[in-house]
Amino acid sequence: MSVFVIIPAAGIGTRMAHANAGVSKQFIELKGLPILVHSVRAFLDVPAVTAIYVAVRDTEQARVSAMLDEHHLSAKVHVVTGGDNRQESVANALAALPSTSAADIVLVHDAVRPLIDPTTISRTIAAIEKHGAAIVATPAIDTIKQVERTADGALITATIPRELIVHAQTPQGATVPLLRRAFAEAAADEFTGTDESSLLERANIPVFVVQGTSRNFKVTQPGDLEVAEFYLAG
């Protein structure tokens, strides 16, 4: 059994401070290293991981390859062409995987979740081995309200029990055949999902939840860098 990791990193959006204006979030430095490097290293620390595929825009491929070489990460890490959105990037990488067994596993992880830990990754791999598909998620803490949008704003229509809600994180994954099937069905119907789990769910593939932690957050705003640096400082 091989375990592949796909990291879509073709996004260009950034809501960071002016010091990072124009820099894609995955390339912003965190404790002296690009966020993407932190994310890649977390998976390389898991012995079960066979190879990592980073999907980036054509214009960034040389830069990312040089970055991987500089940090001595290129032995197990491959750069592939990303798409116009996350789903296309993952689909491109999924097609490039040299999978030879129906038991092979693929994980997809956000490039800007640099604090994922090896233990959670290993538990996700084990969950996929047992169940076929799994995602990392955290329980809902706040009360969740369902709303209806009106011209004057949102109107609450129901309170959703917290035990029925989780906050999705990454990695998300499945056996390679199951994820390829989910992506093929979505492409055939021209459906675009918000994450890999949404495609698996749509294909009627049960997705198991692996409990994550608040540490595994997505770096999206300037204040997130300070929190990430705090965690990295121990």
The full set of domain ranges for the chain reads: 3-135+168-232
| pLDDT single digits (tens) 65-117 | 999 999 999 899 999 999 999 999 999 999 999 999 999 999 999 999 999 99
Amino acid sitting at position 3: V
Residues 126-146: tens digit of each pLDDT = 999 999 999 999 999 999 999
The CATH architecture one would assign to domain 3-135+168-232 is Alpha-Beta Complex (3.90)
Measured on CA atoms in the order 210, 199, 1, 50, is the torsion positive or negative?
A: negative
Whether the CA torsion 85, 177, 53, 212 is positive or negative: it is positive
Q: How far is CA 36 from CA 104, 152, 161, 165, 184, in A?
A: 24, 41, 36, 29, 28
Upper half-sphere CA count for residue 173 (Cβ side, 13 Å): 29
Residues 6+ apart with CB under 8 A from 150: none
Which residue type occupies 185? E
Tokens for 183?
């992506």
Q: Is the pLDDT of residue 158 over 50?
A: yes
pLDDT confidence band for 5 (50 / 70 / 90): very high
pTM score of the predicted model: 0.93
Predicted local distance difference test score (pLDDT) of residue 132: 98
Residue 227 pLDDT exceeds 90: yes
Q: What is the DSSP letter of 230?
A: H
Categorize the per-residue pLDDT at 150 as very low, low, confident or very high, splitting at 50, 70 and 90.
very high
pLDDT exceeds cutoff 90 at 22: no
Mapped onto helix, strand or coil, the DSSP state of residue 77 is: strand
Mean pLDDT in residue range 27-49:
95
